[in-house]
DNA sequence: CTTGACCTTGACGTTGATGTCAAGGTCTAT
DNA sequence: ATAGACCTTGACATCAACGTCAAGGTCAAG
């Protein structure tokens, strides 16, 4: 399939696909006229990339996952490098959550001093 | 005082101060040679801006607070517009926290499937 | 008079993942 | 042969809050 079809099927723009290629995440055969040609495996790669981006991973983070899939594994996460990224990301997310909880408390405190009773419930609490 | 002194006392760069001025957050008298001249009130404004930025506010968010101080209030947050920003920010922070908690759970779930026992404790839990 | 610490405006660089033109080649159908 | 749907590479635009040069003016001290 050509880039337009892959884009439609993967739910991304052609621009994004070319960008992924430029970043070395995906590759494409070229047909005689210079058009990019993709197979089903590429759809799988792009889907993996998208789901990782969706949970806050960067394209760089996605590299090991793509490599893992290309290496024949049925899951992009089942390789040591991918697991390492998972763990690093988890730590990063935890850091961000802690930072946000701190900020939330600070802002709520400020708001309370000028408007007691204005603060609602804390995030995550029902 | 001139821009360098204000920068040192406020703990910001002169570039930042010029940027705040360009964004209409602070203003400066000019002495005969064209140098910016600031007073103590400006230090107060810059401090307010910095503390707001520190908790994740944008410069745009800081506008009502600066206006509030300029209007003579002793607290930048004690004006209706500021309170509104506080509440909006609180809601934004809560949204982000919820998003991150969801992501954290998704990533942890993925990691668990390929590496049971790899996931540590959840953020915020001890 | 000259160093050096200050100040001025202007303008490009940073970061990530694209969006959006520009200018043009390819291919199918009518 | 011509419309129009597809493809190509290249390159600038976006968002925020500055960092960092460039090129030059100002001023006090030695």
Q: Residues B82-110: pLDDT tens digits?
A: 999 999 999 999 999 999 999 999 999 99
Question: Rounded to 5 degrees, what are φ and ψ at B60?
Answer: -65, -40
Q: Is residue A11 within 8 Å of residue A45, measured between CB atoms?
A: no
Residue in A101, A107, A124 nearest the CB of B89: A107
Q: Is residue B114 within 8 Å of residue A83, measured between CB atoms?
A: yes
Q: What is the pTM of this model?
A: 0.88
Q: What is the pLDDT of residues A91-111, one digit of tens each?
A: 999 999 999 999 999 999 999
Residue in B55, B107, B123 nearest the CB of A98: B123
Mean pLDDT across A54-83: 95
Residue in B93, B100, B114 nearest the CB of A77: B114
So what's the pLDDT on residue A124? 52
Report whether pLDDT(A122) > 70.
no
The residue of B107, B124, B126 whose CB has the most chain A CBs within 10 angstroms, and thus the best one to mutate to test that interface, is B107
Q: Say whether the CB atom of A16 is under 7 angstroms from strand C.
A: yes
What whole-number percentage of chain A has pLDDT above 70? 94
Scan for tokens 């390929």, then name that residue: B114
Q: At what angle do helices A80-114 and A59-70 cross, to 10 degrees?
A: 150
End-to-end CA distance of chain B: 49
Q: Do B100 and A98 count as a contact with CB atoms less than 8 A apart?
A: no
Interface list for chain B against chain A, based on CB atoms closer than 8 Å = 55-56, 75, 77-78, 82-83, 86-87, 89-90, 93-94, 96-98, 100-101, 103-104, 106-108, 110-111, 113-115, 118-120, 122-124
What whole-number percentage of chain A has pLDDT above 90? 90
CA distance linking residue B46 with residue B39, whole number of Å: 11
| Alpha-carbon distance A11 to nearest alpha carbon in chain B (angstroms) | 21
Rg for chain B, CA atoms, rounded: 21
The residue of B52, B65, B88, B104 whose CB has the most chain A CBs within 10 angstroms, and thus the best one to mutate to test that interface, is B104
Report whether pLDDT(A120) > 70.
no
Q: What is the pLDDT of residues A80-89, one digit of tens each?
A: 999 999 999 9
Please report which residue ranges of B2-122 form alpha helices under DSSP H.
3-10, 14-22, 40-54, 59-70, 80-114
Mean pLDDT across A67-73: 96
Report whether pLDDT(A51) > 50.
yes
So what's the pLDDT on residue A126? 45
Residue in B56, B107, B118 nearest the CB of A93: B107
Q: What is the 3-state secondary structure (H, E, C) of chain A?
A: CCHHHHHHHHCCCHHHHHHHHHCCCCCCEECCCCCEECCHHHHHHHHHHHHHHHCCCCHHHHHHHHHHHHCCCCCCCCCHHHHHHHHHHHHHHHHHHHHHHHHHHHHHHHHHHHCCCCCCCCCCCC
Scan for tokens 């197979």, then name that residue: A39
> Strand, coil or helix: what is B122?
coil
So what's the pLDDT on residue B126? 46
Which two structure tokens, joined as six digits, stand for A94? 């935890």
Considering only CA atoms, name the residue closest to the C1' of nucleotide C16: A58
Bases on strand C under 7 Å from any protein CB: 6-9, 11, 16-20, 26-27
Rounded to whole angstroms, the distance from the CA of residue B89 to the C1' of nucleotide C4 is: 46
Q: Do A104 and B114 count as a contact with CB atoms less than 8 A apart?
A: no
pLDDT lower than 70: segments of chain B:
120-126
């Amino acid at each position: 399939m050509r880039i337009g079809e892959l884009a439609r099927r993967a739910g991304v723009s052609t621009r994004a696909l070319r960008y992924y290629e430029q970043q070395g995440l995906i590759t494409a055969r070229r047909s005689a006229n210079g058009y990019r040609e993709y197979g089903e495996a590429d759809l799988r790669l792009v889907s993996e990339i998208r789901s990782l981006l969706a949970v806050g991973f960067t394209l760089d983070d996605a590299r090991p996952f793509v490599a893992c899939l290309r290496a024949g594994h049925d899951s992009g996460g089942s390789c040591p490098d991918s697991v390492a990224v998972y763990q690093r990301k988890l730590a990063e997310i935890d850091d961000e959550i802690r930072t946000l909880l701190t900020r939330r408390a600070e802002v709520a405190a400020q708001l309370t001093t000028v408007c007691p009773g204005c603060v609602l419930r804390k995030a995550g609490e029902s």
